[in-house]
Structure 1
Amino acid sequence: MDFSNADIIEFMPRLLWGALVTIEITVVSILFAMALGLLVAVVRSSKLRALTLPATLFVDVMRGTPLLLQIFYIYYVLPLAGVTLSSFTAGVIALSMNYAAYLSEVFRSGIVAVPVGQREAAWSLGIPQRETMTRIVMPQALRLVIPSVGNYFVSLFKDSALVSVIALTELMRAGQLLASSTFKHFEVFTLVALIYLAISYPASWLVRWLEAYFKIGRIKPSKAP
């Protein structure tokens, strides 16, 4: 093990490029996951059985199967049905759908946490149900779930390493390629770990700050099915 400045100078450009890809896939995936998760949460909070059943099935399937399997299925199985996706697109879809299932439970918990009396008061004033949801319930619910959503963002950033199995050259894949070509596994993967830590630790600190700022606890259901 000979960790020198020359190694850092040689390895960092490729690793930082991989880190940029990791950040990109994380940001894109969390945005799609939040949008889909919020939609699923609203649907499951409704009383329309024709909509709640498919939404519940989606959540159960995503939470009941490994994320790695979902990545493989989207990238390798869908082409058999004529749907061929790039590794980046397949990774984004898999991460977005998986985390949407968990975020939907977070959003639904936030909606339930808003006192029912506020909705009843709005309805008694003649405010339509849709306007009650968008202007009274959702702003409060979203405020409650901010820390939990931030926590899932950090988790997604780390789980994005799984897309390396479909040859997407993000941070982990860049490290694997460097280690296999230089045989300096200790040096390469130590730098990879430090880059992950340099990004995830400030993000974790920001989540804790948001939690303290809003004076609320996390609403985070277990990842167990």
Structure 2
Amino acid sequence: MRTRTALAAGAAAVLIALGSVVTVAAAGGRESAAAPAVPAADSADAGFARYMAVHHQQAVEMSFLVRDSTDDEEIRTLAYDIANTQANQRGMMLGWLDLWGLPKVSSDGPMAWMGMRSEPGKDGALMPGMATKAELDRLRKTEGEAAEILYLRLMTAHHKGGIHMAEGCVSACEVEAEHRLAKGMVEAQQSEIDLMAELLRKRGVRE
């Protein structure tokens, strides 16, 4: 039921997001005469929407994994909130790309829009903060408090990478709705990092 609710909310969020972009494009905002309403395929706006959607998808996956691996209500609630929020935001960003008529993948690589090297890190992570395949496999096989601790650590790193990307959009994105979304991500994910640090301390573990 929660999954269906999240999907329904995500669809609604896409419609709201598309309306926001159209409204902003018509009214002005950050889209001035020097900044077209439809971003270029290699712009920060397109790059952020394209690859933060991928980044978010992993957070959703990790959250559903831990939700099925523990009975702890604090962790399950946090995981549900993260999955729901990031699924909705992912739908918004993919909706923008559809509205702009831009591809959802790019040969430039995931971090080119920030002027960074786009090859996967030596640990196999695709973008800053993302868990590796080995880490995801470990989370799938772990249960109880061990799963909670692993999830909190992985999600803390994931959020830090997400904040880094969102701050890049805050600095460079021209679409007002996307700029606002990125700024909100920075604030919300930092708040969740603080919460996760507290949850780790309650389990006798430092971040």
- Fold shared by both chains (TM-score > 0.5): no
Higher relative contact order (CA closer than 8 Å, sequence separation 6+): 1
Greater helix share, 1 or 2?
A: 1
